[in-house]
């Protein structure tokens, strides 16, 4: 009987997604006595799937948006930070297409800015993402957060459908946009602006029939702090049960992700198809909503730049009461294991 490594990933471009699409985990662990399995194989109940956010499952890896693993660690999750990537994607603030009163970001002062409420979500990363985007956009214009008028909008979708989603297995996408209720609130005049990001914007705009326009895209901002959001950076974490007891398996897993990232660098068209499956959109949407150097940025690293991005994210979470423990990132890292993976793959370490 083999041991099990569990994995979970967000529906965004990641090295984990490439590795899954290309069946690289099975190849990497074929003779190890370990099987790599999706957390959904444990069952579909919320108490089983919530480990995607809480990372309380032993012998597991998670790669995806940065705020849940930071929240989990702040709440005592026994994890290590194994790597960070920063894949730039559209970070858009959207208004009604016919709203002539909002022509630029300063016009948002006094307007109703939507913050989503997901009643069953144990860590509301969607709310963090929206709040961070609005605050950053205002701060770039020299406008303090105190000028923002935030309004709650309840989203009614099933957030569990976002975890290792069925459309990543080639099945037809049947779920609505993650921003459906906020877009409806915008169109009905309940709010004046909403936030949406990445390839999921395509699904939202398709539902909105051309009645929504993008006011600004934070990915065009110059300073990194303004671009930091839930999925910028993406964070790779690992259970410390593996770090302590089976470090070789951690190194093998990390090597697999490095190999997947290297493959994507030279196979853009195939990688576009794989990433479209991962995100539930089309290859054309990958071109539209992600910068074209995305395949140079899939590789997890622990460089100063990546760790700076984690600090910006963590500090915002702490200062806005998403977490109550601003822990040490340095003490969270399993740097030596990622360094060993780089060494065995013959890749220069990134400082």
In this prediction, residue 65 carries a pLDDT of 96
In this prediction, residue 157 carries a pLDDT of 82
Under a CB-based contact definition with an 8 Å cutoff, are residues 214 and 92 in contact?
A: yes
Buried-exposed string 235-258: b where 16+ CB fall within 10 A, e elsewhere: bbbbbeebbeebeebbbbbbbbbb
In this prediction, residue 162 carries a pLDDT of 72
Kindly report, residue by residue over 96-113, the tens digit of the pLDDT: 999 999 999 999 999 999
Q: How far is CA 305 from CA 85, 311, 333, in A?
A: 10, 10, 15
CA distance 70 to 267: 32
In this prediction, residue 249 carries a pLDDT of 98
Domains of the chain: 3-87+232-345 (3.40.190.10), 91-227 (3.40.190.10)
CA distance 252 to 304: 24
CA distance 167 to 160: 13
In this prediction, residue 172 carries a pLDDT of 73
In this prediction, residue 315 carries a pLDDT of 98
In this prediction, residue 165 carries a pLDDT of 67
Count Cα atoms within 13 angstroms, Cβ side, for 242.
31
Beta bridge partners of 64: 235
Kindly report, residue by residue over 260-271, the tens digit of the pLDDT: 999 999 999 999
In this prediction, residue 1 carries a pLDDT of 46
Kindly report, residue by residue over 153-209, the tens digit of the pLDDT: 999 987 777 777 667 777 776 778 889 999 999 999 999 999 999 999 999 999 999
Angle formed at CA 328 by CA 326 and CA 330, multiple of 5 degrees:
155
Q: Can you list the residues of the chain whose pLDDT is less than 50?
A: 1
CA distance 132 to 31: 45
Q: Which two tokens stand for residue 178?
A: 């993650």
Under a CB-based contact definition with an 8 Å cutoff, are residues 262 and 298 in contact?
A: no
The 3-state DSSP composition of the chain as helix, strand, coil percent (nearest 5) reads: 45, 20, 35
Q: Which two tokens stand for residue 298?
A: 């899939």
DSSP 8-state assignment for residue 177 = P
User: CB atoms < 10 A from the CB of 222, how many?
Assistant: 7
């Amino acid at each position: 009987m083999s041991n099990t490594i569990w994995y979970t990933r967000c529906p965004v471009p990641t090295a984990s997604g490439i590795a899954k699409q290309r069946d690289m985990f099975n190849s990497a662990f074929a003779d190890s006595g370990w099987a790599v399995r999706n957390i959904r194989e444990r069952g579909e109940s919320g108490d089983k799937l919530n480990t995607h956010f809480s990372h309380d499952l032993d012998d597991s890896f998670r790669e995806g948006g940065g705020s849940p693993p930071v929240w989990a660690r702040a709440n005592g999750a026994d994890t290590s930070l194994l790597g960070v990537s920063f894949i730039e994607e559209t970070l858009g603030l959207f208004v009604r297409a016919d709203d002539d009163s909002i022509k630029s970001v300063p016009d948002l002062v006094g307007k109703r800015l939507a913050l989503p409420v997901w009643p069953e979500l144990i860590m509301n990363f969607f709310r963090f993402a929206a709040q961070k985007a609005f605050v950053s956009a205002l701060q770039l214009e020299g406008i303090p957060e105190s000028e923002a008028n935030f309004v709650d909008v309840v989203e009614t979708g099933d957030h569990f459908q976002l975890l290792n989603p069925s459309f990543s297995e080639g099945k037809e996408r049947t779920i609505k946009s993650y921003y459906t209720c906020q877009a409806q609130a915008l169109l009905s005049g309940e709010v004046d602006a909403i936030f949406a990001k990445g390839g999921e914007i395509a699904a939202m705009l398709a539902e909105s029939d051309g009645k929504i326009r993008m006011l600004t895209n934070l990915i065009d901002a110059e300073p990194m702090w303004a671009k930091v959001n839930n999925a910028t950076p993406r964070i790779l974490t690992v259970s410390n049960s593996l770090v302590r007891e089976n470090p070789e398996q951690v190194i093998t897993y990390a090597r697999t992700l490095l190999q997947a990232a290297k493959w994507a660098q030279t196979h853009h068209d195939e990688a576009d198809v794989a990433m479209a499956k991962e995100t539930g959109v089309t290859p054309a949407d990958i071109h539209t909503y992600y910068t074209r150097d995305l395949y140079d940025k899939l590789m997890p690293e622990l460089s100063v730049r990546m760790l700076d991005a984690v600090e910006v994210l963590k500090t915002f979470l702490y200062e806005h009461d998403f977490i109550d423990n601003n822990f040490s990132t340095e003490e969270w890292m399993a740097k030596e294991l990622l360094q060993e993976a780089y060494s065995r793959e013959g890749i220069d370490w990134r400082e």
